[in-house]
Each structure stands twice: as structure tokens, then as C-alpha cells.
Structure 1
Amino acid sequence: MEKKLEYFRIGKIVKTRGLKGELKIYSHTDNMDRFRELDCFYIGEDRDTKYYVEKSNIISGNMATIKMKGFDTIESVQGFIQKFIYVDRGQSYELDEDEMFISDMLGMSVETESGEKIGTLVDVLQYSANDVYVVKSESSKEYLIPATYSIVPVIDKDKNLIIVKPIPGLLD
């Protein structure tokens, strides 16, 4: 089984806002409240520097602003534009019983209800209608499987297994 990610990307800094060091963030999470509750985060690949939140605000469905402590001018934050922000696993929000982080699903085995091995989950494409699982077979063939309850009735965390009920043409 693959090692679990220790850091989660929650957004991308898209531009500054105002003159006092505020940053506008495009969210990569479906829980916008996490920006209201955010205490600290990392920027880019640097895991040695923690940035602390002075204030944050949600400004639209997928946009938030963050003002970091100690960064009080537009010039002090311009170098962060177009970088991703991350939180460590300990700062992730609590999931419901039937939820999993995508990073914890990657590497799961995917089989049909009859036990036929399809492959391994290698990616999850997120669309507004539903997610799509990218499954790679041992022969490197890729399958795109809509992540709906009718097609994916079982995700077993303990067995590291996804069960698929394929519709005609799905695995051709």
C-alpha cells in the first residue's frame, strides 16, 4: 500500500488583494469553512516555514482571502502569487463516516462484483456532476469509471478495495 500523503493542497494563491498584504486564494477543497478555521499553512514545497493566519474570509463560492501575520505590504506577499498552499494531515478537517481523502484512495485495488481484477486507482478527476476514477490495469490500459453509487457500490477502506458494478461498455 502506498504511503499516505502528509500534506494536502487546499488552494492556490492567485493574486494580492489591497495594499496591506492580503492574498486571494482559489480553493482546491470542497469545504470552504476550512479557510475560516485555518490557523497556519505552508506555501509551495517549503515545509520548514509555517505561515500563520491573521484573518481570513470567504469572498465567493471558491475564493477566499488570507492575511498572514507579519506580512503587511503588497510587496511582502507578491512572491507567493501562483503558489499552492498546503496544510499537514493533522490540520485536515474531520470526514464523515462515508468519506475518504482522495490521497488515501490512490493505490486501492479495483475489482468487479464477481471478483475480476480491473486494476489500481491512479487518479480521481473531479467534475461538478461526479468524480471519475482513473483505473490502470496491469497491462497499462486505463479505464474511466464514474464514481456514482450505482457503478461503485462499495469502497472498503479496511481491504483497500473498490468494487465496481460495470455497465455495458464501461470496461471495453
Structure 2
Amino acid sequence: MEEYFKVGIITSTHGLKGEVKVFPTTDDVNRFKRLKKVTLDTGKARDAGTVLEIEGVKFFKQFAILKFRGVDSIEDVERYRKASLLVPRSDAVRLRKDEYFVADLIGLTVRDEDGTEIGTLKDVIETGANDVYAIDLRDGRELLLPAIKQCVLEVDVEAGFIRIHILEGLLDGA
């Protein structure tokens, strides 16, 4: 399971006093108000040197504007452009029953109703009504399966699989 979750990506600087514009990759942009610190993913090992304490949060359109403690000029934050902001699993939002982190689902083995392995979960597509699971089937096709109770029979992240029911007609175009 993932140890860190991406909550946003720094897209650019904002103003001259060290603020950054962050494109949120979390469901709720307001969660930035509750965060005290984030880990900067520079592509290198995540260590104590990459933890940034959040001093201030504002919002502009779909972006969060963050100010980090001790980062006070545009020059200080310029190097953070395009970096991802991560939170450890312990700081992640609490999930309700039958909710899962997308990062924990990607790569799970997909089984049919009988338990036969049929593919791997490649992506979770968020739509207005419900999520859709993009599944790479063993025969090379892709199945787009609605993530609804009629189709998703069991999710066992610990055991590494999802058991599904394929509604009639879903494989016709795959």
C-alpha cells in the first residue's frame, strides 16, 4: 500500500512573497485548510528536509494558494515548480465504509465472480455519477466497469484483488 498520497502539484509561483499556486489532486480542495505540513516530492528520497510547514492558505478559482513557513520570496519557491505535494497515510482523510484510496486500488488483480483472474485495475476514472474502473484484461482488451455495487462484489486491498460481476453487454465493445 502507498505510504504517501499526492494532494496537489505546484503549478507556479504566486506573487513575490513566496506563495505558490497548487493544482489540487484531492477530492476536496478545502482539505488544505486542515493540513499543517506537506512533503515535497522532488523525485529524490523523501526525508525530513523536504517537509514544508503550511503557514497560510487561500483559494483562487480551482487552485489553492499556499504560503510555507520560512519561504519568503519568489526566488525561494521557484525551484518547487512542478513538484508534487504529498501527505503521509496517517494524515490522509478518513474513509467511510466501502471507500478506498485510488492509489491502493491501482494494480490490484481483478477476478470474475468465480474467482478466476481476468486482469488488472489500471485506472479509476472519476465521473459525475460514479467512478469507472479501467481494467486491462488478460486477452489485451480494456474493460470500463462502473464502480457500482452490482458490478464490484468485493474489494480486498490487503489480499490484492477485486472481485467483479460484468454486466451483460459491457464486453461487447471492448
Q: Percent identity?
A: 36
More off after superposition, 116-125 vs 97-106: 116-125
1:52-92 residue CA offsets vs partner (Å, 9 max, x unmatched): 111113334x3211100111111211222222111122221
Residue in structure 2 matched with residue 45 of structure 1 by the alignment? 43
The answer to whether the 8 A contact 1:135-1:143 is kept is yes
TM-score normalized with structure 2 length: 0.82
1:22 to 19, 23, 39: 19
Amino acid corresponding to residue 106 of structure 1 in structure 2:
I
Alignment map for 1:1-172 (pairs within 5 Å) = 4-43=1-40, 44-46=42-44, 47-48=46-47, 49-60=50-61, 62-157=62-157, 159-172=159-172
Unaligned runs of 5+ in 1: none
**Contact 1:35/1:58 (CA < 8 Å) preserved in 2?**
no
User: 1:39, 1:94 → 2: CA distance?
Assistant: 16
| Deviation larger for 151-160 or 35-44 | 151-160
Partners of 1:97 and 1:7 in 2: how far apart? 21
TM-score by length of 1: 0.83
Any idea what the Cα deviations from partners look like across 1:65-120, whole Å, max 9, x if unmatched? Answer: 11001111112112222221111222212111221111222233323334443222
Unaligned runs of 5+ in 2: none
Q: What is the number of residues matched between the two proteins? A: 168
Coordinate RMSD, CA, aligned: 2.2
